Structure 1
């Protein structure tokens, strides 16, 4: 109980980034902190810090709708930072990772799945615990040294949506600590009161769980709402959750069979955010 009160104080009364709170409170990871806090309070650390009450998802009759964004490759370009972090951590143990292999196997996957896949294909000499620690250290260092810049149209879209009072959320395969740090470094944290992370769910994208978690926190109906994605895993997750998905086509993601739920775009700037309406069901 003392630990919980101390954690609450750090979340609400300090401006410390989540990774630093993880270290100070001696949690093994952002995932451990999030699960501890969720079990104890029924809220995520992010919602508690923002002062957001837990909101139940609205049903069809409620009419709530909003927009849920992916993060990596959609709002900011951190995929190559992830690649370089993985590459360096693997190189330290004498293994290689080619860019095309990373793009094919890992883009859009949650970190736990990536670590499991890497351990499954490498010999027994591979130290998974060391890899877990080292790639995270490299990622945080590179993100801090070279902060990401919002991609084309992102700031205008967020300004337009929040100015209209449209609920905006984020559903990412990344760990919560990395989401917080990435948004903070990119200057986007203030736009998002509702986050859902890969380390808060049992199954990452293409499973819809992270999108449904975010919609529930936002209090919106997925069947009337929109998502913005850039990967095959991501668009499949959004469609499975019932959302209409604006799919960035630059990385040539595969379009799922439910094509009526997907609209290909070349840039976030292609969407008329000032005129966007709830998705018509059916």
Structure 2
């Protein structure tokens, strides 16, 4: 009998970026489309320069409670300044970028079916994300997944980020379950894997994993189980309830 089978799983917690959605591809494609829009508006002369500069600024900006996917005004302030672009404001650029990005987000039937399966088994579901509140709200509105979650814990909303154990404890408190009853699904062995220090079962989700898309510092934990993507089939295999 596996460790997962021994546990009476009462709650499943999911990271957002690069776990439920491919943030790396979403950001890369959105920045490319943003550069094309700027070029077509005669606001820049070289699309590649904008892409390289923005992605570098994004990657090198390490601070809590920001969204590397949804973008921040400081990303555009620095990018436009470095490229000497003054025909568009950072705020205008940010709004256009987010418009482009949101057009690329659609409901994921695989994720929805996985969540519905867990609900049928009486398992509570939480979203645990190191993100900005606007990004998470926009994602939930666009995908229609809000109703699936029993609780949503966003770092910017509570002032704590994973791998801080208080983040996971907040989720446990809201779900009213013990650590041994919860499973954490995430792509980040540092931020999400830290849940193991509380006795939470850690499932590494590898389908969208990108090691260069990790800004958290700390110990990297070995997963208790590895899953490619969050689908009903993968959940059935994990819980061995099919």
**Would the TM-score normalized by the shorter structure come out above 0.5?**
yes
Q: Is the aligned partner of 1:163 residue 2:120?
A: yes
Is residue 15–residue 127 contact of structure 2 (8 Å, CA) maintained in 1?
Answer: yes
Question: Structure 2 matches for 1:63-212, cutoff 5 A?
Answer: 65-83=10-28, 96-97=51-52, 110-111=65-66, 133=91, 136-150=94-108, 153-212=110-169
TM-score (norm 2): 0.62
Quote how far apart the aligned CAs of 1:115 are.
6.2
Q: Is the 8 A contact 1:82 1:139 kept in 2?
A: no
Q: Give the Cα–Cα distance (whole angstroms) in 2 for the partners of residues 77 and 65 of structure 1.
A: 27
**CA, structure 1 residues 167+86, in 2 after alignment: closer, same or farther (shift >3 Å)?**
same
Higher relative contact order (CA 8 A, sep 6+): 2
Can you give the 5+ residue segments of structure 2 that lack an aligned partner in the other structure?
Answer: 1-7, 83-88
Q: Judging changes above 3 Å, is the alpha-carbon distance between structure 1 residues 226 and 64 closer, same or farther for their aligned structure 2 residues?
A: closer
- Contact in 2 for aligned 1:64/1:221 (Cα 8 Å): no
Deviation of 1:198 after TM superposition, in Å, equals 2.2
Residue 213 (structure 1) aligned with residue 158 (structure 2): no
Report the secondary structure of 1:195's partner residue.
strand
Distance 1:205 1:83 in 2: 24
Distance in structure 2 (CA, Å) of the matches to 1:185 and 1:67: 22
Give me the whole-angstrom Cα distance separating, in 2, the residues matched to 1:134 and 1:213: 36
**CA separation of 1:64/1:244 partners in 2, compared to 1, >3 Å: closer, same or farther?**
closer
- The TM-score normalised by the length of structure 1 is 0.55
Which residue of structure 1 aligns with residue 224 of structure 2?
A: 262
Query: Relative to structure 1, is the Cα distance of residues 118 and 209 closer, same or farther in structure 2, using a 3 angstrom cutoff?
Result: farther
Distance of aligned partners of 1:96 and 1:76 in 2 relative to their CA distance in 1, 3 Å threshold: closer
Counting only pairs closer than 5 Å after superposition, residues 22-41 of structure 1 correspond to structure 2 as none
Equivalent in the alignment of 1:271? 235
- Work out the CA distance in 2 between the residues paired with 1:143 and 1:189: 19
Pair 112,185 (structure 1): closer, same or farther in 2 beyond 3 Å: closer
Size of the aligned set, in residue pairs, is 206
1:34 corresponds to: none
Q: What secondary structure sits across from 1:158 in the alignment?
A: helix
> Unpaired segments of 5 or more residues in structure 1?
1-62, 278-282
Alpha-carbon distance in 2 for matches of 1:271, 1:106? 35
